[in-house]
Amino acid sequence: MATSENIVICRCEEVTYGQLQSTVKEHKCTARELKLRTRAGMGFCGGRTCRMAVDRIIESITTDLSPGDIPLKYQPPIRPVTFGTVGEKP
């Protein structure tokens, strides 16, 4: 049976709950810093899957967050286009 520390939060980058929790405790980081340190939210989905979980982990551990802290940004993936489409003349 898996412990809560082995639960994968960011599936794209395979970042576990334990990794996120220990990084927040060690560095007292904001969501943006946590993203840069662990790559959670930087995978193919752009944070659409794990962003809310990462925010909740930070809120549960770091109690002195100010409203000015930068929240974790997510970018929806754009649809792929072929080189032929890009190079077409109108």
CATH of the domain at 15: 1.10.10.1100
Domain of residue 13, residue span: 4-87
Number of folded domains in the chain? 1
Sequence-distant (6+) residues with CB within 8 A of 4 are 17, 18
15: which strand partners?
10
Please list the rounded mean pLDDT of every run of 10 residues in the chain (90 residues): 82 93 87 88 84 84 65 61 71
Sequence-distant (6+) residues with CB within 8 A of 14 are 8
Q: What is the pTM of this model?
A: 0.68
Residue 18: CB atoms within 10 A of its CB come to: 14
Token representation of residue 85? 């489409």
Cα separation, 36 vs 40, whole angstroms: 8
pLDDT at 90: 63
